[in-house]
Amino acid sequence: MTKTEYIENIVKKLKTRKSKNVIYTVVITAIIAVFGYRFYSVAMENNFNVFNITRNNETIGTPVKVLEMQPTDGILYEPLTVKNNTAFVSGARVHIFKPGQSANKCKIVSVSNNIDLDSGMYIIKTSNCSDGLQYIAHKHNGFYIPISAITGNTVYIADGDVARAINIEIENRDMQNALIKSGIKSGDIVILSDIQNNQKIKIVK
């Protein structure tokens, strides 16, 4: 049998009803299998527990960094404008400065007890201070909170696994930290992360 005859023989067989039925059955079975696999894949995807950060935070709590409050010896840096080793400060700030306070080699020598009638300010005498803005170290024992954790006069503390807003009174501050006058007590857990009142939290160790 030649190659041509062999091919013609196969074509004749494929044209028979039996062969056509077999082909139709195979094609339909393949189509059903493809759609069936697709439906199965979609069903499996719907069963996956896709990570959702909002749902996770509501269930487990938003991760937060905290600071446990204990009285500490801290330092705030107070700005002081000096010229010819003399500075003028208002009555609201004069209590901050005391003889002996320093910034590098710049040192406060004296702080007047009485207001200067010519300037309406209190006079501070310094030594070894260059003209311009100086930052004088103000040491104090108390509760210190980073400025970034304070909104207005409010901070958030951890009440179990929930954030609670409390009001505080600030005694003094610089560009980084605030010395708290009232509203904070030893053992309070101040939340340093961005959070909202009554939001569920998870403390990051």
Q: Please give the mean pLDDT across all residues of the chain.
A: 84
pTM: 0.63
- pLDDT 10s digits, 138-173: 888 999 999 999 999 999 999 999 999 999 999 888
Q: Which of 68, 69, 72 is nearest to 141 (CA)?
A: 72
> Of 19-23, 83-87, 101-105, 160-164, where does mean pLDDT reach its minimum?
19-23
3-state secondary structure 122-154: EEEEEECCCCEEEEEEEEEEEEEEEHHHCECCE
